[in-house]
Structure 1
Amino acid sequence: MTSQHNRPDADILIIGGGLSGTMLAVQLLRLPGQRRIVIVESRSELGRGEAYSATELGHTLNGNAARMSVDPDDADDLTRWLGEFIASGGWPESDQQHVPLAELFPPRGIFGLYVQQRLAEAQAKGAQHGSSVEHVRGEVVDVQSEASGIRLALADGTEVNGRFAVLATGMFAAARTPQTDSNALNAAAVDPWDVAAMRQLDSQGRVLIIGSGLTMVDAVVSLEQAGHRGPIDVFSRHGLLPHVRRQPPAWPDFLGADHSLRSPRQLVRALREQCEQAIAQGIDWQAPLDTVRVHIPRLWSQATDVQRRQFVRHVRPWWESHHHRSPPPSAALLERLVQEGRLNIHAASLQDVQDRESGQVRISVRYRGEDQPTEVRGAALINSTGIQYDWRRVDRALPRQLLARGLIQPGPLALGIASDPGGAVLDAEGRVSSRLFAMGPPLRGMWWESTAVTDVALQAKALAARLAERSER
């Protein structure tokens, strides 16, 4: 439901209606008690956001169905829903993956349908005890915290008032986010997920991609679906590709058994030993690695800033490539293109984006081991540098205003924003807000891993309980 006029006050305002905001609403609606929830989201649909608005079947989840339930109390929720969806005639292409139901990697668009259905069910349950959720379509550009509550200013000039507000803004994809320091890359680049735009490119032209993480994987999938058959050159500082996600057997929780492991160096050493043990037993090295994830929030939060910086500087590239793995269908495409000689990965850092000349885009890169930059030309350029977590660099109204008003402060290492352990944001003076909260990707600096479906689901349940308790006072 979208209201255009006479928007009512709310008990809880949710800024952002993607996965984070929708899952928070679901958890609030499931709780007993009567409360009014307003979600402010610029898209026409809730539950999709940046990640799950994709319509191409090739853009799949990075985790299989058994790992992607939005219900923190039911790990099989998505698997069951997907089985019913396929049985009813949805996603007939699922049999092309040739794996059991729980190991399927569903398209993101279909996952968005799943989230929306869970929201509809929660709305029906909430209505039984007088709770409601309303979708106000618009963009929040300013927030004011007052003694009586929170006031949101929208881009169209209207205001929405509530007792509490939650920043559920999701991820700021670098390819779609204006930067305060330089927008030259995005100005010259093609959107990584815009298959229609890619169909307008020379199908044999050379495409240059900056960044080699999961956004790059999506970009290559988009190019393939657009009919591009020319060379692709990928440039990243370390030249690391995401590993393919496999389904390893269970492995003992070695971190749960030994809490003496605290520093990044200790963790890396122990993890390497565990992986070597697994390989010696003929077991996939991903088995020990997959036990680490549940401990990341604890390890990150108890680390010192020096230890966090060491991790980000020295371990992060390898952590990202080993932990944030590629779905098998996408990984198979990349492997084929590499074997065909069409996809080339270069360890090089972007130095400059130059003006187009003769219809070609020109960039300057410095290859690893070289002192001087080299000019590279291509028919098209794609920004696949991932997510911008530093809110100080995001050139959008809401982050700018929140920082200018002193309502928030950057999180550790300038990753997202700072909060207390329960999601209440810290203002510029370090005071814990009693009105403004955050969840999901904005809390990257607090927990390091705060973007995956499981992270969001757990945070949504905990924050919903906290807000429900406060709203009843």
Structure 2
Amino acid sequence: MSQTLNNEADILIVGGGLSGAMLAAQLLRQPGKRKVLVIEPRGELGRGEAYSAVELGHTLNGNAARMSVDPDNADDLTQWLSEYIAAGGWPESDQQQVPISELFPPRGIFGLYAQQRLAQAQALGASNGSSVEHVQAEVVDLQVDPDKVRLTLSDGRHMQGAFAVLATGMFAAARTPQTQSSGLNAAGLDPWDVAAMARLDPQSTVLIIGSGLTMVDAVVSLEQAGHRGPIEVFSRHGLLPHVRRQPPVWVDFLAEDHRIRTPRQLLRELRRHCRDAIAQGIDWQAPLDTVRAHIGRLWHQATDVQRRQFVRHVRPWWESHHHRSPPLSAELVERLHREGRLRIQAASFQGLEPSTNDGVGIRIRRRGETHTTVVHGAALINSSGIEYDWRRVARPLPRQLLARGLVRPGPLALGIAAEVDGAVVDANGQAASRLFAMGPPLRGIWWESTAVTDVASQAKALAQRLVQ
């Protein structure tokens, strides 16, 4: 896509990863004529942080049947993959030995799928006179006037439009400059940088902070880089993601019982259903997977006290059970753990320590202990996941938006505050009429606001809202 020469548009989309690309595609499918500018510093739209991976081992953590970008067709990715594989793409897919709907595609291939769906929407929009153009730059400032929104770009250009949407995607902790930096990013390797890991001594010890899905990716990267030494993983609770399986359909008990409204009620009822499933010889993941469609409603109607209790006491177990690992990656982690090469320890990171050699030292406090311990390794990887607190993100736009009072932190400082239709809420509690948000920035509003299906639904609803 070529860069635009005109700085005016009907709608400005800030961020061109999956969220921005899906919104652009939905806008192109709406009747009427409009011009959309997507401001994204990367050279491609539709990939963003999550789908720019190039290694085949870095796969989606959901199978194809769960990852459609079309909210009206749950089989869209399955259908696209069938055609892609039949045409000779991804020959390694036969290693998974499952139907195409149950495949876990590499994230790079998923990014290609998203790009092709955007290209199809562009062709459709062109027949109505609509267009989407990619402006390759970073938005560093934003101002809202009564009749328009004005953007300042990193290259000095200015853009303006009737509406703007913050589709900034995820701020991966390993790649995001932070205002309250612990030094982890500067000292640590990128979890997805296989080339850098290949330069390590293959038998050396690698330290990893965090034990979620980013850690799983980091272990895959190390394996592909030829690393064969010890891997020490430290996280507060020492929990690993469960492997994602394909359980049978279970009754949607939340749809049948609207008395369940609080996190405590949900957990009590969910445990009961999981016990019933196990007693019947059915995978416990079956009842858990029915909860997915109701999380936004339950979280949105919960009080701040209830949300805080959930984050403090339930979140680690929710993440490890709900955000599960793709089978091939889980098999690798399990094998290394069984061989004794990978060790998981419940311990909190306390800071960096000087190292007497070319490696790195960290200070940790193991769970249940009051004293700290220094651990040394040849390399350190920050796998602490996503940074949702915009106050900690040292990027120009989040800092400017907060400083201007155009946004305020969302519930529990997760993302930013907004109305249910995505209208951003400012520091005075007023909903904007020209500034909207979607995807990961709405974590505090919906809790689960990063999955492909969630973002796809938001994109369709927001596109309809913007063209009305």
**Shared topology, TM-score over 0.5?**
yes
**Alignment match, 2:399:** 400
**Alignment match, 1:174:** 173
Deviations 1:432-458 (A, max 9, x none): 101100000000000000000000000
Residue 292 of structure 1 aligns to a residue whose secondary structure is helix
Bigger Cα displacement from structure 2, 316-325 vs 154-163: 154-163
Distance 2:354 2:174 in 1: 18
Residue 263 of structure 1 and its aligned partner are, at CA, apart by: 1.1
Q: Is the Cα contact below 8 Å between 2:353 and 2:374 reproduced in 1?
A: no
**Alignment match, 2:140:** 141
Residue 354 of structure 2 aligns to a residue whose secondary structure is strand
**Alignment match, 1:378:** 377
**Alignment match, 1:236:** 235
Q: Give 1:59-78 correspondences, 5 Å limit.
A: 59-78=58-77
Residue 442 of structure 1 aligns to a residue whose secondary structure is helix
Residue 356 of structure 1 and its aligned partner are, at CA, apart by: 3.4
Q: Give 1:29-428 correspondences, 5 Å limit.
A: 29-428=28-427
Residue type of the alignment partner of 2:244:
R
Deviations 1:401-457 (A, max 9, x none): 000011001000000000000000001001010110000000000000000000000
Distance 1:141 1:421 in 2: 26
Residue 183 of structure 1 and its aligned partner are, at CA, apart by: 4.2
List alignment gaps of at least 5 residues for structure 2: none
Bigger Cα displacement from structure 2, 381-390 vs 357-366: 357-366
**Alignment match, 2:438:** 439
Distance 1:294 1:28 in 2: 24
Distance 1:461 1:16 in 2: 17
Distance 1:67 1:59 in 2: 17
Residue 291 of structure 1 aligns to a residue whose secondary structure is helix
Residue type of the alignment partner of 1:128:
S
TM-score calculated relative to the size of structure 1: 0.98
Residue 36 of structure 2 aligns to a residue whose secondary structure is strand
Distance 2:338 2:312 in 1: 31
Residue type of the alignment partner of 1:408:
V
Deviations 1:278-332 (A, max 9, x none): 0000000000000001000000000000000000000000000000000000000
Residue 211 of structure 1 and its aligned partner are, at CA, apart by: 0.2
Q: Is the Cα contact below 8 Å between 2:233 and 2:345 reproduced in 1?
A: yes
Residue 38 of structure 1 aligns to a residue whose secondary structure is strand
Distance 2:162 2:246 in 1: 45
Distance 2:454 2:409 in 1: 20
**Alignment match, 2:3:** 3
Deviations 1:359-385 (A, max 9, x none): 120000000111100000000000000
Distance 2:201 2:166 in 1: 41
List alignment gaps of at least 5 residues for structure 1: none
Deviations 1:200-252 (A, max 9, x none): 11111000000000000000000000000000000000000000000000000
Q: Is the Cα contact below 8 Å between 2:8 and 2:159 reproduced in 1?
A: yes
Residue type of the alignment partner of 2:205:
R
Residue 140 of structure 2 aligns to a residue whose secondary structure is strand
Distance 1:228 1:7 in 2: 50
Residue 142 of structure 2 aligns to a residue whose secondary structure is strand
Residue 152 of structure 1 aligns to a residue whose secondary structure is strand
Distance 2:184 2:239 in 1: 21
Distance 1:376 1:115 in 2: 42
Residue 182 of structure 1 and its aligned partner are, at CA, apart by: 1.4
Distance 1:109 1:18 in 2: 13
Residue 309 of structure 2 aligns to a residue whose secondary structure is helix
Distance 1:275 1:382 in 2: 35
Q: Is the Cα contact below 8 Å between 2:7 and 2:158 reproduced in 1?
A: no
TM-score calculated relative to the size of structure 2: 0.99
Residue 358 of structure 1 and its aligned partner are, at CA, apart by: 1.0
Distance 2:27 2:181 in 1: 40
Residue type of the alignment partner of 2:93:
S
Residue 201 of structure 1 aligns to a residue whose secondary structure is coil
Residue 7 of structure 1 and its aligned partner are, at CA, apart by: 2.8
Residue type of the alignment partner of 2:312:
R
4+ residue runs over 3 A deviation: none
**Alignment match, 1:15:** 14
Q: Is the Cα contact below 8 Å between 2:355 and 2:376 reproduced in 1?
A: no
Distance 1:148 1:234 in 2: 52
Residue 216 of structure 1 aligns to a residue whose secondary structure is helix
Deviations 1:91-131 (A, max 9, x none): 00000011111000000000001000000000000000110
Distance 1:197 1:94 in 2: 27
Distance 1:420 1:339 in 2: 47
Residue 461 of structure 2 aligns to a residue whose secondary structure is helix
Distance 1:452 1:335 in 2: 25
Deviations 1:52-89 (A, max 9, x none): 00000000000000000000000000000000000000
Distance 1:356 1:464 in 2: 53
Distance 1:48 1:152 in 2: 22
Residue 2 of structure 1 and its aligned partner are, at CA, apart by: 2.7
Residue 8 of structure 1 and its aligned partner are, at CA, apart by: 3.0
Distance 1:442 1:183 in 2: 23
Distance 2:8 2:343 in 1: 54
Count of residues paired in the alignment: 468
Distance 1:359 1:137 in 2: 38
Distance 2:175 2:284 in 1: 35
Distance 2:7 2:153 in 1: 14
